[in-house]
Each structure stands twice: as C-alpha cells, then as structure tokens.
C-alpha cells in the first residue's frame, strides 16, 4: 500500500512539475505547439528505487523513459516562453564531455513522432559535446508527403525539395551539404571537410602567442607539423583543406614572431612549396569549378610577410619555392637569382629578399586576353629600409614558360593587393629585342603576361582581299591581251621568250592568288583541303618566281652578250625546267620532309600557309630562301640593265647637258617602274615583315602596309607595266581594236548600201 502511494505521489510530482514550472505554451491564433522540458534533481541514493518505480509511462502524451545515472553535467539552453508558432526557436544541449554517441532530436505531435534533422525545415548542428536544433518554419507543421522531396540516400535522410541537408564530416572537421533541387532530385555533395591534422595545426597557429612557451618556438612547432602534413598531398587534396592550410600561414603571418632557426625556415618553405605541387591544382579551385584568386592572393601575401620574419642571409630552394636573402650595401649592385630569374635592384640598401613561386601564376586572376608566361617573383625589403629609398629601379630578367610567337604582345605586371589583380603601373617591357626583361620602379610581386593572340593591323585583311580580287581580274585581262596581240608583237626570239614568260608568270600568280582567296577562312576548311591549298600556293608562288628568274636571266644575258645567239628551243627547255621542275621538287621535298604535310608541322591550321616558328625555323624557309635568292638576282639584273641604258656617249654640247641628264633619269625611272613588278622586287618588303616584330610599333606597321599593298595588287601592276606600259603591246592592242571597229563599220555600211539599192 505504501509503495502504491509513493508511486502516485511521484506521478503527481512529475505531472505538477511538468505542467507547472516547465511548460511553455505557445499562444496566438491558429495552431499552437507545446514545447516541454523536464529536469529532475534526485539524491544519488534514491536513483535505483526511482528507476524501478518509474518504468516507462505516458501521461497526456508525455512519455517518461527509464532514468539513467550519469556523472556528466548536461546543460540545456531553451527558448524563453511563450513560443509563437511563427517563430524560429533554437535549442542547444551542451555536455561536459563527449558521450561518443550521435544526438537525436525528435518532434512529437498528435499526428506522430518525427525525427528532426537537416533538411526537414530545420537545422541540426553537432560537434563533440554540443548539439543544437533550429526550427526554420512553423513548428506545428511538417511538410506533407504529397510535397516533392528527395528520398533518403545513404546517410542523407528524406529532404524537402529546394532545401539543403547537412551532415557532419566523418573523421574530419566541418560539414557536408547536399541540396535537394526544386524538382526533388539530389544534387552533388559539397564537402567542407578539413583533415583533423590540418585543423589541429590551424588551432595551434591561432594560439601560438597565447599560453605556455615562446611564440617563436610555438611557431616552429606549427611549421614542423605543417611540413609533415603537406608532405602527403592526399591529406590536403581538397579546397577545404587547402583553404585551412593557407589560413595557418595567414594566422602565423599576423603574429609577432621571428623565424630564426634553420629548421623552422626549412619547414616553413617546404610546407609553402608543397602547397604548389601540381597534383593539388584542383584544390585551389572552388567546388563550382571557378578559380578563387583570393586564396592565392592570401597565400602570396602571407608567405611574403613570413619571409620578412626570417632575419638571416640564406638561399633555400624547394620544388616550387626558392628564396634568396642577401644584405646589400649602399652604392653596390644588388642581385638575387631564383629559378634562373635574375632580379637587379638599384639603388640597394639593407636586406633584400627575393622569392620565386612556381605554379602560383596559374591561380592568380588572369586577364581576358592575356595569360601568364613566367613564374611569380617577389622582391621585398623591410618597411624601414624601403622608406629610406626615395626611388628604386628593379630589373627582372625572366625565363619565359613558353616561347613568344612573332607579333605577340607581352606585358610586365605587378600584383596589386588592393584590387587583387595584375597591374602595369610602374612596370615596362623592354621590347622584342629583350623580350624577357622587365623594368619596374617599385617593389612587389612581378610576372610576365603574354597575349593569347597576335597583334592585328587594322584594315590589313580587308586591303589584302580587295587587292587579291583586283589582281585576279587583272591577270585574266593580262593573259587575254597577250593572246590577242601575240601575232603582232612576237616577231623575234627575244620577244617570244619575254611574252611566254609573261603568260606563265600571270598564270602561276593567278592560281596562287585564287588559292589564297579560297583559303581565306581556314576555320571553314577541313585539314585535307587546307593541306592541298598550302601545297598549291607553295608550288605556284615558287613557280612564279622561277619564271621571273628565267625572264631576268634572259634579259641579263642579252644585255651583257648582245651578239651571242641561243636557239629558242634551248631557251624553252631551260625555262620549263627552271620554271616548273625546280619549284615542284622543292614543294614535294618540303611536304615529305615535314612529316608528310602534318598539321602544325608542315603548315599552320590558323593561316593555311607554311609554318613560321622563328628565324630559320619552320617550313616557311623553304619558300623564303629560294625567293630571297631569286629577288636578289633579279635586282642585280635590273641594275645591270639600267646601267646599260644609262651608258650613252658623252655630249660635248653643254647646252644640252641638263636635258640629257633628265632623259637618263627618266629612262632609269621608267625601267625601274616597268621591271619591279615582273621581277618580284616588291617582295623585298616580305623579308622586312619577317624581321620586324609588330610590337615595335609604327615602323613595323608601315612596312606591313607597304608589303600588303604592293603584293596584293601585283596582278594589277603586271597588267599596267607589261601590257599597257609596253609600247608595242599597247599599239598592237589599239590596232586590233581599230581593225575590229573598222570591220564592224564597213559591214554596217555594206548592209545599209544594199538596203538603199533595194
């Protein structure tokens, strides 16, 4: 009887306690929710009896489970009452020590008991010895089963559509998150998990100057730990780990410490170098796939500050980081070299520290049309020493990561910590003649950026296509005229050979220009067609020049040996061999010699023309060298002819001396004008185009315009000089036109007379 009475009393006590002191009743219109918390303080000697008495029971939807004795203090931080149904209450449970078991939060209502976890309109966070829950929507409501949701998958519980679920990282610090899309499908897991060793290093770095031990010694221990961690790239091969590791460097760089011991310097530089290893390339990138330049910027800034905290003269070279620190005296040259990049400082005073960073240039912000083409080199001095210098000149001789193609612009830049981007301010590139040299007027982190595209000349492409189109039409007219007046102008062996050469030169140039126009847009051509056009252009342009050589050699022979006669048949054999066989051999041998006409070996897929890789490099030289020899020979022949024309008897009549000089000058000028196009002399500008880099400015632009205009319109110039400029050809053409006109007039008169008689 006594036992039953005690039980009733205990029940009454619990009910009164629950309904009285610790009942939080939500108020407001509509639905409401009770949030009930029970806390009993019982003498230890009574626990066993109470446990036996208070077996699990329910009272007004209140369930009391078996009591368990614990020596661990539990603190429950509850939301003040009353709790409105529209609020977002938060409850936190804190333990004195980790219970080694995952916490479980439940929401009990009249329609059932539901587990509370991330994604069910709530947020649950858990860490050792502490857990909390936050209800994000009305706590009296739960999303209906008819709503879209992502079904449980592995560790991930059912999650309402358009919500994000969170889970603690297994065996690591941090959380994993996974969003349930609006359509009710799981998205990829985004993990912010940090290796426990990395997290430990970060915590120690934060308190390096707090507590026992000297800050310098504590920092050395952190560097040692960080070196061991980063030696295993698999331990930090995620963005979260990379970010946490950089945070270690940032934290240490902000402390008042000195890195004096050689072992500490080595560990610091080794760990900093390990972060730049190529297998960790993706770890510098956010999970979205976008580059995070702020992380690389933080790394660079913190490492520079830590290097300043090393107060020794030393040289230390790691795989991806080399530092050279030297003491420079006033008035003496100061030079540091890291990774074959030489930095000269003028004037110099005090401690100068230069660091070279491999791979870092790939993680810093890039410009749209430029890409990094050197490592990042940092040169710093202490604040006191740098303030004493009114001005400074820094000359950096970089090593280019890849050769600079012709006509490609280079920029010397320094890193701007304010804008977190590269800046040209205070830096200058020394030009194509010294393409690796940069000069700057301040201390910073430097690099070379190279344009992704060659420098373009405005309107040059349009002028080229217009000129070639006019040339094609002019060459067709020229050949028609030659065939029309052939019988009238070809009277001797010399005239026969000259006009034959004119026709073959026009034919070869016509085919070559046509192929050039057909391949004007290489992106629209297949590799096979591009290769065919390159081979045809190579052969036809060479053949044109070899026929020019035939013409100039014949003219030179007639000028020097006017009485030496050679048969027309012998000349034609020589002309045909020189005009077609020689260029064919050169074109075929070049094609076979460059991997059978392989793409980007024999020809460039960007231009559908022979490849130029630098001075005396590339297949283009199998065209340039023969053309150069022929043009030089043609210039020599033209000079000999002009000198022969000017070789006239001395006139003793002084009154006619000036007139004779004028006639001689006009004769020479006329000869130059008539012979230059047909001898290909205008192609001399092509050699200047190859030698002059467009980055030098105005001179190169003028030369390119001159070469394009003179050679794109070469067909027109040939028409004007060889057909319309030649007196015999012009008269024969006029006579032919008059004869046709006369015949037409006579025929009309005859018909009119016949009609009149009728």
99 or 209, which is more confident? 209
Rounded-to-integer distance, Cα 179 and Cα 153, Å: 12
Q: Which residues pair with 125 in a beta bridge?
A: 132
Does the pLDDT value for residue 335 go beyond 60? Answer: yes
Does the pLDDT value for residue 345 go beyond 90? Answer: no
Rounded-to-integer distance, Cα 373 and Cα 401, Å: 5
Give mean pLDDT, residues 604-611. Answer: 89
Which pLDDT score is estimated for 463? Answer: 93
pLDDT digits over 8-53, tens only?
556 555 554 544 444 333 333 333 334 444 455 555 555 555 555 5
Which pLDDT score is estimated for 217? Answer: 92
Q: 55: pLDDT confidence band, cut at 50, 70 and 90?
A: low
Query: Which CA distances in Å does 299 have to 208, 232, 360, 425, 572?
Result: 19, 19, 9, 23, 75
Residues of the chain with CATH 2.60.220.50: 313-455
Does the pLDDT value for residue 389 go beyond 80? Answer: no
Q: 127: pLDDT confidence band, cut at 50, 70 and 90?
A: confident
Cβ(275)–Cβ(245) below 8 Å: yes
Which pLDDT score is estimated for 757? Answer: 40
Does the pLDDT value for residue 246 go beyond 60? Answer: yes
| 244 three-class SS | helix
Beta strands, E only, 283-423:
315-317, 321-328, 334-338, 341-346, 350-357, 370-372, 376-380, 393-397, 410-416, 421-423
Q: Where are the alpha helices (DSSP H) in 171-254?
A: 196-206, 215-230, 239-253
Give mean pLDDT, residues 508-513. Answer: 94
| Closest CA relative to residue 410, chosen from 702, 698, 613, 696 | 696
Beta strands, E only, 398-545:
410-416, 421-423, 427-429, 437-440, 445-451
Does the pLDDT value for residue 369 go beyond 90? Answer: no
Cβ(457)–Cβ(448) below 8 Å: no
Give mean pLDDT, residues 414-426. Answer: 89
Rounded-to-integer distance, Cα 180 and Cα 119, Å: 8
Cβ(344)–Cβ(335) below 8 Å: yes
Q: 720: pLDDT confidence band, cut at 50, 70 and 90?
A: confident
Which pLDDT score is estimated for 27? Answer: 33
Which structure tokens are listed for 557?
A: 């022979």
CATH of domain 313-455: 2.60.220.50
Give mean pLDDT, residues 132-136. Answer: 75
Rounded-to-integer distance, Cα 637 and Cα 359, Å: 58
Torsion (CA) 639, 640, 646, 647 in degrees, nearest 10: 160
Does the pLDDT value for residue 730 go beyond 50? Answer: yes
In the block, tokens 């002084």 appear at 654
Q: What angle do CA 592, 595, 596 make, to 5 degrees?
A: 45
Which pLDDT score is estimated for 743? Answer: 55
Which pLDDT score is estimated for 121? Answer: 65
pLDDT digits over 92-116, tens only?
887 766 666 677 777 766 666 767 7
Q: Which fold is adopted by the domain 469-650+662-737? A: Rhopdopsin 7-helix transmembrane proteins (1.20.1070)
Which pLDDT score is estimated for 306? Answer: 93
Does the pLDDT value for residue 581 go beyond 90? Answer: yes
Residues of the chain with CATH 1.20.1070.10: 469-650+662-737
Question: Out of 24-28, 545-549, 590-594, which region has the weakest mean confidence (pLDDT)?
Answer: 24-28
Question: Out of 307-311, 541-545, 663-667, which region has the weakest mean confidence (pLDDT)?
Answer: 663-667
Residue-wise burial string across 608-641, b where 16 or more C-beta atoms lie within 10 A, e elsewhere: bbbbbbeeeebbbbbbbebbbebbebbbebbeeb
Q: 738: pLDDT confidence band, cut at 50, 70 and 90?
A: confident
Give mean pLDDT, residues 596-608. Answer: 88
| Closest CA relative to residue 398, chosen from 434, 432, 345 | 434
- Give every CB contact of residue 512 below 8 A, 6+ residues apart in sequence: 536, 537, 540, 541, 544
Which pLDDT score is estimated for 31? Answer: 37
Which pLDDT score is estimated for 80? Answer: 64
- Give every CB contact of residue 610 below 8 A, 6+ residues apart in sequence: 534, 538, 590, 602, 603, 604, 618, 619, 620, 622, 623
Give mean pLDDT, residues 695-718. Answer: 89
Q: What's the helix, strand, coil split of the chain in %, to 5?
A: 50, 20, 35
Which structure tokens are listed for 91?
A: 């409850």
Give mean pLDDT, residues 630-656. Answer: 72
Count of other CB atoms within 10 angstroms of residue 473: 13
Does the pLDDT value for residue 174 go beyond 80? Answer: yes
Kind plus residue range of the DSSP H or E element containing 123: strand 122-127
Mean pLDDT (the chain) is 79
Cβ(36)–Cβ(23) below 8 Å: yes
20 or 148, which is more confident? 148
What sign for the dihedral angle of Cα 209, 214, 216, 219? negative
pLDDT digits over 63-89, tens only?
555 555 554 456 777 766 555 555 677
Cis before 750 (ω within 30): no
Which pLDDT score is estimated for 60? Answer: 47
Count of other CB atoms within 10 angstroms of residue 589: 11
Which pLDDT score is estimated for 64? Answer: 52
In the block, tokens 């016949």 appear at 754
Which pLDDT score is estimated for 242? Answer: 92
Tell me which DSSP letter residue 256 carries: S
Percent over 70 (pLDDT), the chain: 76
Does the pLDDT value for residue 142 go beyond 60? Answer: no
Does the pLDDT value for residue 264 go beyond 60? Answer: yes
60 or 602, which is more confident? 602
Count of other CB atoms within 10 angstroms of residue 134: 14
Rounded-to-integer distance, Cα 692 and Cα 681, Å: 19
């Amino acid at each position: 009887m006594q036992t039953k009475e005690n039980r009733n009393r205990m029940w009454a006590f619990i009910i009164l306690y629950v309904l009285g002191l610790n009942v939080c009743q939500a108020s407001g219109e509509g639905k409401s929710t009770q949030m009930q918390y029970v806390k009993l303080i019982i003498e230890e000697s009574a626990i066993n009896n109470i446990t036996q008495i208070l077996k699990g029971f329910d009272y007004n939807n209140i369930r009391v489970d078996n009591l368990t004795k614990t020596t661990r203090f539990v603190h429950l931080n509850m939301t003040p009452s009353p709790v409105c149904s529209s609020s977002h209450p938060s409850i936190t449970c804190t333990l004195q020590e980790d219970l080694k078991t995952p916490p479980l939060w439940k929401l009990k209502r009249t329609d059932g008991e539901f587990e509370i976890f991330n994604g069910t309109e709530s947020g649950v966070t858990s860490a050792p010895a502490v857990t909390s829950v936050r209800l994000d929507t009305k706590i009296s409501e739960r999303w209906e089963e008819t709503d879209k949701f992502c079904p449980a998958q592995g560790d991930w519980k059912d999650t309402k559509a358009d919500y994000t679920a969170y889970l603690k990282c297994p065996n690591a610090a941090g959380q994993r998150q996974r969003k349930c899309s609006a359509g009710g499908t799981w998205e990829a897991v985004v993990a912010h998990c940090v290796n426990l060793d990395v997290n430990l290093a970060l915590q120690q770095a934060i308190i390096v100057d707090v507590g026992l031990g000297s800050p310098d010694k504590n920092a050395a221990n952190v560097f040692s730990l960080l070196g061991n961690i980063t030696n295993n790239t698999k331990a930090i091969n995620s963005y979260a780990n990379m970010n946490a590791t950089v945070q270690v460097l940032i934290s240490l760089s902000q402390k008042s410490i000195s890195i004096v011991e050689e072992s500490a310097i080595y560990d610091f530089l080794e760990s900093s170098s390990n972060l730049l290893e190529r297998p960790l390339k993706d770890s510098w990138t956010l999970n979205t796939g976008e580059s995070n330049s702020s992380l690389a910027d933080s790394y660079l800034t913190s490492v520079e500050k830590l290097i300043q905290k090393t107060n020794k003269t030393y040289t230390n070279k790691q795989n991806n980081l080399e530092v050279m620190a030297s003491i420079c005296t006033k008035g003496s040259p100061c030079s540091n070299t890291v990774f074959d990049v030489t930095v000269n400082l003028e004037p110099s005073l005090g401690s100068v520290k230069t660091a070279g960073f491999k791979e870092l240039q790939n993680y810093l912000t890039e410009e749209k049309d430029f890409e990094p083409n050197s490592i990042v080199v940092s040169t710093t001095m202490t604040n006191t020493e740098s303030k004493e210098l009114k001005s400074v000149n820094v000359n950096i001789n970089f090593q280019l990561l890849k050769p600079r193609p012709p006509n490609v612009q280079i920029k010397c830049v320094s890193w701007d910590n304010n804008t977190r981007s590269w800046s040209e301010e205070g830096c200058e590139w020394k030009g194509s003649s010294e393409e690796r040299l940069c000069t700057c007027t301040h201390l910073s982190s430097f690099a070379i950026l190279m344009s992704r595209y060659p420098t373009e000349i405005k309107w040059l492409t349009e002028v080229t296509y217009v000129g070639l189109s006019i040339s094609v039409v002019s060459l067709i007219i020229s050949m028609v005229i030659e065939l029309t007046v052939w019988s009238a102008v070809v009277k001797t062996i010399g005239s026969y050979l000259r006009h034959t050469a004119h026709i073959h030169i026009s034919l070869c140039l016509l085919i070559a220009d046509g192929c050039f126009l057909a391949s004007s847009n290489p992106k629209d051509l297949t590799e096979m067609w591009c290769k065919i056009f390159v081979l045809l252009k190579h052969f036809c342009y060479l053949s044109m020049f070899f026929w020019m050589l035939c013409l100039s050699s014949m003219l030179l022979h007639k000028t020097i040996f006017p009485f030496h006669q050679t048969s027309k048949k012998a000349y034609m054999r020589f002309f045909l061999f020189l005009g077609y066989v020689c260029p064919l051999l050169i074109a075929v041998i070049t094609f076979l010699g460059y991997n059978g006409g392989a793409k980007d070996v024999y020809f460039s897929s960007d231009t559908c023309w022979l490849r130029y890789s630098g001075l005396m490099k590339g297949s283009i030289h199998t065209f340039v060298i023969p053309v150069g020899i022929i043009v030089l020979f043609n210039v020599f022949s033209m000079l000999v002819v002009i000198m022969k024309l000017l070789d006239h008897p001395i006139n003793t009549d002084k009154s006619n001396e000036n007139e004779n000089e004028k006639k001689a000058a006009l004769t020479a000028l006329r000869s130059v004008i008539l012979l230059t196009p047909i001898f290909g002399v205008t192609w001399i500008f092509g050699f200047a185009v190859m030698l002059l880099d467009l980055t030098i400015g105005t001179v190169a632009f003028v030369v390119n315009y001159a070469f394009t205009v003179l050679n794109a319109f070469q067909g027109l110039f040939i028409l004007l000089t060889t057909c319309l400029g030649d007196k015999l050809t012009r008269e024969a053409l006029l006579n032919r036109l008059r004869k046709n006109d006369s015949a037409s007039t006579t025929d009309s008169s005859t018909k009119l007379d016949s009609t009149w008689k009728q």
